Amino acid sequence: MKVCILTLFPELFTPFWDHGIIRRAIQAEKLDPVTINIRDHAEGRHRVTDDRPYGGGCGMVMKPEPLTAALMEAKTRMPQATVLLLSPQGRPFDQTLAESLSATEAMVMVCGRYEGVDERFIDRHVDAEISIGDFVLTGGELGAMVITDAVTRLIPGVLGNEDSAQSDTFSDGLVEYAHYTRPPVFDDQDVPDVLLSGNHQKIDRWRRENALIRTVLKRPDLLEQRALSAEERRTLEKWRRIIDGLLE
């Protein structure tokens, strides 16, 4: 996958490209990233990329000319790329969207700064606005890294174990089951016996049940639109009886 980041601070991405899964994906030629400095496409001696908003108000607005010129450079490298703008007004980023983006061949992410981006650039060039949460950051760079990380791990061949991405939290609409490793006893807490049994059928059943119950406790909102399977209904009925017994 080709990924292009339009940013005023390309140096922020250097350590990001150089570590962990992202670095391995680049080395394996699964990910081909590039950053373009928006300021390089600004005119004048001072390379100005922002100006005061029409109509007054606080802050500055990113100018459409350097953004458009930077995007045109990106488009020469990846003509069919999906253009995304990191924006708190955008569609919330989630695992479903990450999976959809991982199937694309290329994407350009525009990192906004200041009060925002001239709306004319958005109307003409942006395919989708994406938000990583209902909060405001100083710029879109961290959001671009979050999206790149989430999408990259879904590209076939990036993770050492292909089952890892499929079992991640949200991959099937549930949070992930609890994880344990050595030692078997820590701080007077034991690893569940079933995980030490070697019976993979029982382990799989425990993990499915554990993921469902953890979703009820941690993210019940995920179950509101979920069509429960017969097994999931039996699990919830069992736990309801347990809870009803405790309340009697």
* Catalytic annotation, residues: 88, 115, 153, 168
55 phi/psi in degrees, rounded to 5 = 90, -5
Rounded distance, CA 22 to CA 18, Å?
7
Residue 9 neighbours by CB distance under 10 Å: 15
Q: What are phi and psi of 162, to 5 degrees?
A: -65, -20
Count H helices and E strands in the chain, helices first: 9, 10
Nearest Cα neighbor of 61 from 53, 72, 69 is 53
Cα(230)–Cα(215) distance, integer angstroms: 17
CA 7, CA 52: separation in Å to the nearest integer?
Answer: 19
